[in-house]
Amino acid sequence: MRRAIETVLALALLVFPAAAQDPGAGGRLAVLWCMACHVVEPNPPTASDSAPSFRVIAADPSTTSGSLDRYLSRGHTLMPDFSLSSQERNALVAYILSLR
């Protein structure tokens, strides 16, 4: 089921490129892929101490759209490699920065 949802979202981002800049699309991706470790919602029902929240990441002065895109573009030692497309990265970046 999760794979089907991921596929539908990925296809939606390809068919509707404007969605790549939509923080809502990035929020949906974050819930699917990032929420296991990060707090991804502005007002989460529970907290996580395994990884920084997206709000903390967004508040860091060194966080820019470029720095987030570069970080999400390469493999991470502590994160699974989701092999995000550029549209998916753009959507996640837009979402994270919307939490400022």
pLDDT tens string 47-98: 667 788 999 999 999 999 999 999 888 876 677 777 788 999 999 999 999 9
Indicate the class that CATH gives domain 2-98. mainly alpha
Q: Compute the distance between CA of residue 50 and CA of residue 79 in angstroms, rounded to an integer.
A: 11
Highest mean pLDDT among 3-12, 22-31, 60-69, 77-86: 60-69
- 48: amino acid identity, one letter: S
pTM over 0.85: no
Give me the phi and psi of 25, to 5 degrees please: -65, -40
Chain centre distance of CA 38: 10
What ranges make up the beta strands (E) of 46-96?
none
- CA neighbor of 23 nearest in space, from 65, 77, 81: 65
